[in-house]
Structure 1
Amino acid sequence: MTGAPASAETRQIGIYDCLILVVDDTDFNRTLITAMLRQAGFRRIQHAVDGIDALRKIGDELPDLVILDIVMPGLDGFEVCRHLRADPRFSDLPVLVQTALSNTEDRNKAFQLGTTDLITKPIDRNELLARVRIHLENRVLIQDLQLYRARLESELGMAREMYNHLLPTPALFDQIGRDSGVRIRHHTAVSSELGGDLWGIIPLSERRFGLYLLDMTGTGVSAALNAFRMHTVLHELAPLAGDPSRFLGEVNARAVDLFESGERVSVIYGVIDPMIGTFTYATAAAGRPILLQCGNRVAELGDSDGASVGESGGSVFPARVLPFGPGARLLLYNNAVAAALPVECISSAPEALAELAAPALGSPTLVEACARVTSALARVVGDRPREDMTLIFLAKEAFQSPRAKAAS
């Protein structure tokens, strides 16, 4: 993880290497200001003899601060400010205007045109140095924060890309559809922060497959890294994935030693058996699965029990079974979905979500069902949730053997 921005002491040292451009048509004034700055320790100072010369030099090499005279022949200080602020490249360039103007209207005009600060003539050394230091410190701080933000956004972007690579592929969806008659769709509403939720599929024998959805506590890179670690653990334990209760118990035993104190993960893991038409699952502080049977208008809620994974090495995760026959629709979701719903307590969130989702789950196609559920949810919680919200939709078609499919 990238370190924090530099300390105040480091910034104070760094200002003496900043580039300062002194713009004045009088040689004596340029020499005087330069002498004051060099005596104070500033090492990089350039000069411009008028407004046109100033704009040319600023375009060639961007200074960190400009000390600008107002009254100059040709292009005066007012016009220099106007040109600078009209160019996005120089919109935040500090400009200290040195002026003997005492007229309030002229001073107001200077600020309206984008002057950062004023220095009165005749120039007082202490005033000059104080204003130069504070504006350069602000400049260095802003640049430091911008660089830090760019690095952070780059790291978050890489984490997002890693997350996307861990998700099941469309090719796997197609293979499962051909083998088991189960169609899968998913939807993620991305928040402004990187989340620690992840889901995936573990292929099993006899056309079965396992499906997990996990949600780490907290947000940010640390939560995402823990989710990636859990992905590794889940797939290392794939030989046990046919038994949800045992599988989740072994995952928990690994996680207790993997996580730092206070870190937890909610998990639902289930096995779809298309031959007998069941969804056998175990949960660890996860949302209750929502099932809509063919021909029904009211959704059925599964159970949710078991402590969070990583909370205790002795936790037990009993297996539950829901029917998942032809025409059934199943909705799984992470805890962020339940937390975003406007309900009085989190325990009533599954009922609220089931009531919201049931009409849409009965749509003719799974694609339409997914679109209608997510649209209805967005109307309730908004398009930009506080944490990533993940929903997984499964639909069971009438099962056909490979020979029957080929014949059709």
Structure 2
Amino acid sequence: MGEIFTSLVEHISSGGAGVLNFQGKRVFMDFTAPGDLAVGRIIEDKRSWARAELLELSEASPLRASPACPLYGTCGGCSLQHLNYKTQVAEKALILQDAFKHIGGITLPPAFDFIPSPPWNYRNRMQLHCILQNRPQAKNHRAGTHSGLLATQFPAPLATQFPAQNRLGFMGRKSGDIIPVDRCPVADPGIASALQEGAILPPPAKDRFTVFSFETTLLSEGTIRGKAQSRGTVTLLGKELRMDAGVFFQSNCGMLERLIGDLAQIAGTTDRTLPMADLYCGVGTFAAFLGEQFPRIDLVEENPEAIVLARENIRGQDGRLFAQTGDLWAKGCTMDSSYGFMVADPPRQGLSPALRRALAEKGPPVLAYVSCDPGTLARDCGELLAGGYRLEMLRGYDFYPQTAHIESLAVFRKG
């Protein structure tokens, strides 16, 4: 450990680090771009891989970009601002292909759809942290001054003054520190302007809370400009949905509208004389748009607060709500004869083992799987294919530009 080496960055890993080769071992190095000739120092050495810190760039890749945020490299929110946006999208498509090949044993076609997003001011839902006096906090933040980064690779530091009662920030990169923030280039304009004004206050006795903004909707678990409103409505594709800032909702509404439109088209190709099911339904977003095509829709969600909102969002439809885990629901469900179509939108862990087995054995003719993790999607895909499904479509959606997070839609069809 501690060896200094020079190597060419080949591509970007699923965590956002550049991948290099040193002494026959894969080495991960943050803040590097494909095509960089990077000088690094080994800081973690395992049997089959290592991690290195960037010391300098012998030759910078033309794929690099100047980060838009002065806190980039210190704040933990973004990991790809040093890449131009076209490269970010291309590298994410490669990450998805790599996961399918090495985890699922599936070779994808060399080109498939990966839908880009506006790269800035896209994020509608954000979690803020209140800096408490007895909590560690980073001081004198300067992106690029921590170990392994060149200050010349990042913009100058952001000088920010905060009222004592309104010090808000984001979790620091690889630390428990909270980084004070009064502007964020990925935030929706409503959140961004409230941050700059110092108009956001946390709820009492809570040092971590969520805010949401989209078009005319502005919600917070705390207060914004003196107004306390956690629950409200958001309009997507002309339809009003009930939501709550404290309950999970997608963070890029523009991309969510695109995904909903794609799901509606897929639903239109299925047997609509049978009911459909929405697994891990959250507040019932997909059900609200797709359910009208089917005689009945069943929603499965273990979060009771989300189920309350889902009930409101499918009002007027023939729907049943199951406030339970997917595992429990699958045990009592005869899926193969009951449904013509299902949508599943699991958390990062993917489908639970019991639900995965049940879908492989007796799932519906068409399953649309919305994923936020390529690795678990590839794993689940392998078992679904072994159960008789074929992968009809895979499409990526860049819900989170400037980060390494990847959303995708896989459509499975039997026969």
Same fold (TM over 0.5): no
Bigger proportion of residues as helix = 1
> Greater strand percent: which structure?
2
Which structure has the larger Rg? 1
